[in-house]
């Protein structure tokens, strides 16, 4: 997901995505309300008109603020994640109605972050980066607590579990500064409900975070290992333009995309600005006796894949990727073949996935490349941020 900037990017990115991570991002602006479902202008529509054969259906669209993450529950409820990067959204975590309306979730108090509540960083969304539904239908929110990507708020990084049946927080795990230091950015999360563990990519420093959900203890692993770091030699592009910030630096986003195999045996990840994909056995990650050198020896380099923000794995082992360089979604088959899934100009930086049991794929378009950071301080967003859905291909 920025994803780091998915997150992703941004990044989870500014992904997914992606979520993202440059400290040159603008600080939060004054609060602005996300529109329920903003209408596009004629020029916007012409620029991002749906191809006649596109399987993508618009679920919701928003003019501002920027959406990054999406989660869908078994009952069809849809949730969105609007991080506090360039905006200060009223509903950084929101339940999205069938009419495109946006409702603060789980309530307005959790969505409030200002001077009046600064002494309660564990009770409010500060800069949530990922919203994720596990296999039991519980909702998880990952909050790196770094508004404007300027550094974590002390005591703010957290992983929160919500029971959608009651809309109540049932677990609130604080991630200590020893695991999520001030320059960290917790990016995306996957939940192993069988073994009660959470696996998190961290994009600021470049690491994995593993959380024992029974004890609440979190460990930071493989910090700055080459498999966690973006490739500085690449000229990553979006819309045909190289990602360069106002200071002339190329985009470099570290560990971002993450996916857990259906059998829970492997965790996959990749840095956003990289063409490499990695995996490791989850059993190794759960073993606190293993030091980083021992873990590094178990990392598998799966070779070249496209640059992407979000990732997810389907029931047959295909690894789906939001390949933002060419407005597309691709998948890597179990035998390593890269296949196109859909290419659509409306996929302006496809960011984060949510898969449902009935075989539907949801994906966000976060347009990270059009934010001020990558356009000499001037935002170039010319269409709504969107959530799409389509049937997973056979």
∠ CA 367-371-374, nearest 5°, is 110
Residue range 64-91: mean pLDDT, rounded: 95
In this prediction, residue 245 has a pLDDT band, given cuts at 50, 70 and 90, of: confident
User: Tokens 């293993």 identify what position?
Assistant: 290
User: What's the rounded Cα separation, in Å, for the pair 290 and 164?
Assistant: 36
Residue range 349-368: mean pLDDT, rounded: 96
Query: Which pLDDT value is given to residue 5?
Result: 37
Query: Which pLDDT value is given to residue 279?
Result: 98
User: What's the rounded Cα separation, in Å, for the pair 121 and 390?
Assistant: 37
Contact, 188 vs 171, CB < 8 A?
A: no
Query: Which pLDDT value is given to residue 387?
Result: 98
**250 secondary structure, DSSP code:** B
Q: Where are the domains of the chain?
A: 31-391
User: What's the rounded Cα separation, in Å, for the pair 244 and 234?
Assistant: 11
Q: Is the pLDDT of residue 298 over 50?
A: yes
| Annotation: CATH topology of 31-391 | Neuraminidase (2.120.10)
Q: Is the pLDDT of residue 344 over 70?
A: yes
Per cent of the chain over pLDDT 90 is 76
Q: Is the pLDDT of residue 45 over 70?
A: no
Residue range 192-206: mean pLDDT, rounded: 98
> How many beta carbons lie within 10 A of that of residue 234, not counting itself?
17
| Poorest-pLDDT segment among 14-28, 194-208, 333-347, 374-388 | 14-28
Q: Is the pLDDT of residue 24 over 80?
A: no
Residue range 165-175: mean pLDDT, rounded: 98
Beta partners for 200?
A: 189, 209
- Return the higher-pLDDT residue of 94 and 33: 94
User: What's the rounded Cα separation, in Å, for the pair 361 and 305?
Assistant: 20
| 3 state SS of 216 | coil
Q: What's phi and psi for 188, nearest 5 deg? A: -145, 160
Q: How high is the mean pLDDT of the chain?
A: 88
């Amino acid at each position: 997901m920025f994803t780091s900037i998915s997150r992703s990017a941004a990044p989870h990115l500014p992904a997914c995505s992606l979520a993202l991570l440059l400290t040159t991002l603008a600080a939060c602006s004054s609060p602005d309300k996300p529109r329920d479902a903003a209408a596009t202008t004629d020029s916007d529509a012409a620029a991002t008109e749906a191809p006649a054969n596109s399987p993508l259906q618009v679920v919701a669209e928003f003019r501002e603020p920027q959406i990054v993450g999406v989660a869908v529950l078994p009952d069809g409820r849809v949730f969105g994640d609007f991080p506090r990067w360039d905006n200060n959204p009223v509903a950084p975590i929101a339940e999205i109605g069938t009419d495109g309306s946006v409702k603060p979730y789980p309530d307005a108090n959790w969505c409030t972050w200002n001077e009046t509540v600064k002494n309660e960083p564990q009770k409010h969304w500060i800069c949530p980066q990922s919203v994720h539904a596990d296999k039991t239908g519980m909702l998880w929110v990952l909050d790196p607590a770094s508004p404007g990507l300027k550094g974590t708020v002390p005591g703010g990084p957290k992983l929160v579990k919500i029971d959608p049946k009651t809309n109540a927080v049932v677990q609130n795990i604080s991630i200590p500064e020893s695991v999520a230091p001030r320059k960290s950015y917790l990016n995306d999360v996957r939940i192993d409900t069988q073994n009660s563990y959470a696996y998190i990519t961290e994009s600021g420093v470049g690491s994995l975070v593993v959380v024992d959900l029974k004890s609440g203890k979190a460990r930071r692993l493989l910090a700055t290992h080459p498999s966690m770091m973006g490739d500085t030699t690449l000229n990553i592009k979006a819309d045909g333009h190289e990602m360069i910030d106002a200071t002339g630096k190329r985009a470099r986003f570290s560990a971002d995309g993450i996916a857990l195999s259906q059998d829970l045996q492997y965790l996959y990840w990749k840095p956003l600005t990289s063409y490499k994909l990695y995996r490791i056995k989850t059993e190794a990650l759960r073993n606190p006796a293993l030091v980083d050198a021992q873990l590094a020896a178990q990392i598998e380099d799966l070779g070249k894949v496209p640059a992407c923000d979000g990732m997810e794995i389907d029931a047959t082992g295909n690894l789906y990727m939001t390949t933002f360089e060419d407005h597309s979604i691709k998948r890597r088959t179990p035998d390593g073949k890269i296949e196109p899934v859909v290419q659509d100009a409306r996929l302006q930086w496809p960011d984060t996935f949510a898969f449902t049991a009935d075989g539907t794929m949801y994906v966000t378009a976060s347009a990270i490349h059009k934010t001020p950071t990558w356009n000499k301080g001037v935002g170039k967003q010319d269409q709504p941020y969107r959530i799409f859905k389509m049937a997973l291909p056979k």
